[in-house]
């Protein structure tokens, strides 16, 4: 099978990563909620209906100091879109997401003359896979295959598989990436306070299996705040010198007056950033509840450390 052409800067990206810590952006979904995205509404649809807002969020993360921005494609895999009833829009949603990220990156680069990288975000199907689940492994593969093809041919620098709980499912997505393109790929799972995923996967197991299956980097994102993910990443770092990524939530959310509040302040994220740098984490950013202010605090520490 002929692989998708690499239009991005995948090799530059891995080379730079071996020299310095890079900052990846913060949340997209919870930022869109601030702009009025409703519960149950697909954030990816805003690539079409509210492109200026999506692009302005990318820009605000770049201005805060992010070196990497993630496409608004977390839920735009075949299985998830099919469930929402618009699988036929997979191409359009993913293509448009890359276009918006590239536009924001190009505009920023023009003024600031520094390398900016675009990561294609791929999240889980939201279904239970395998013999007990409703979705078969082959169907999940096809769903990821379709998304990876579009992302890889639209011009991204690497792929981030993120927020996976199931080692089997992230392995399927990873296989699709490896078979379809030559882009670097990071594989990140979601651990809770038990330091395991809800499928019982330990950091140790994730590191062993995901590197074996060809990931260029492994990581932990979402699910918990920086304190827990620090413990997860520390366990990973003992086992490998290869690239690691961390994107904690802004703490564990609680509800106040019908509003979801993420308690971790930018200052707290900055304190943990120092600890992540000591663990030689290669990519540091934020997940749910983080804002450009959190990323500014993280970037401040990262840039001071080089």
Residues that bind Zn ion (CB under 5 A): 222, 287-288
Could you tell me the strand order of the sheet in which 117-122 lies? Answer: 22-23, 283-284, 244-247, 217-221, 185-189, 158-164, 117-122, 68-70
Q: Nearer Cβ to Zn ion, position 75 or 184?
A: 75
Q: How far is the CB of 251 from Zn ion (least distance, A)?
A: 12
Q: How far is CA 83 from CA 31, 47, 58, 91, 135, in A?
A: 24, 19, 27, 16, 11
Q: Nearer Cβ to Zn ion, position 94 or 188?
A: 188
Distance of CA 32 to the CA centre of its chain: 16
Q: Nearer Cβ to Zn ion, position 30 or 273?
A: 30
Q: Which residues of 163-185 are buried (b: 16+ CB within 10 A; e: fewer)?
A: bbbbbebbbbbbbbbbebbebbb
Residue with tokens 């663990």: 279
Q: How far is the CB of 11 from Zn ion (least distance, A)?
A: 29
In angstroms, rounded to a whole number, what is the distance separating the alpha carbons of residues 70 and 137? 26
Q: Nearer Cβ to Zn ion, position 249 or 282?
A: 249
Q: How far is the CB of 163 from Zn ion (least distance, A)?
A: 6
Closest by CA position to 258, among listed 16, 2, 33, 10: 33
Q: Nearer Cβ to Zn ion, position 170 or 287?
A: 287
Q: How far is the CB of 221 from Zn ion (least distance, A)?
A: 6
Q: How far is the CB of 68 from Zn ion (least distance, A)?
A: 16
Q: Nearer Cβ to Zn ion, position 70 or 97?
A: 70
Q: How far is the CB of 162 from Zn ion (least distance, A)?
A: 8
Contacts of 89 by beta carbon, 8 Å cutoff, 6+ apart: 48, 81
Q: Nearer Cβ to Zn ion, position 161 or 222?
A: 222
Q: How far is the CB of 87 from Zn ion (least distance, A)?
A: 24
């Amino acid at each position: 099978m002929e692989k998708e052409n690499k239009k991005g800067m995948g090799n530059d990206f891995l080379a730079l990563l071996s020299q310095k810590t890079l900052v990846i952006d913060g949340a997209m979904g919870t930022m869109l909620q601030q702009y009025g995205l409703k519960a149950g509404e697909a954030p990816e649809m805003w690539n079409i209906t509210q492109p200026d807002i999506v692009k302005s969020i990318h820009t605000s993360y770049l201005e805060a100091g992010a070196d990497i921005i993630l496409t608004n494609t977390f839920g735009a895999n075949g299985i998830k879109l099919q469930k929402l009833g618009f699988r036929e829009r997979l191409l359009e949603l993913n293509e448009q997401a890359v276009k918006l990220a590239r536009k924001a990156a190009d505009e920023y680069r023009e003024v600031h003359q520094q390398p900016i990288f675009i990561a294609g975000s791929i999240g889980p199907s939201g279904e239970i896979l395998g013999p007990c689940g409703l979705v078969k492994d082959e169907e999940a593969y096809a769903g990821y295959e379709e998304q990876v093809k579009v992302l890889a041919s639209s011009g991204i620098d690497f792929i981030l598989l993120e927020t996976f709980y199931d080692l089997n499912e992230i392995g399927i997505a990873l296989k699709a990436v490896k078979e379809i393109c030559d882009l670097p790929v990071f594989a990140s799972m979601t651990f809770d306070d038990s330091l395991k995923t809800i499928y019982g996967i330990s950091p140790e197991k994730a590191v062993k299996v995901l590197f074996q299956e060809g990931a260029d980097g492994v990581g932990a994102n979402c699910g918990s705040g920086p304190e827990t993910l620090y413990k997860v990443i520390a366990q990973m770092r003992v086992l490998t010198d290869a690239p690691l990524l961390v994107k904690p939530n802004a703490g564990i959310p609680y509800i106040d007056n019908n509003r979801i509040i993420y308690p971790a302040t930018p200052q707290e994220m900055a304190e943990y950033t120092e600890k992540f740098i000591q663990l030689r984490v290669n990519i540091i950013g934020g997940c749910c509840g983080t804002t450009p202010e959190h990323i500014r605090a993280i970037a401040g520490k990262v840039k001071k450390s080089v």
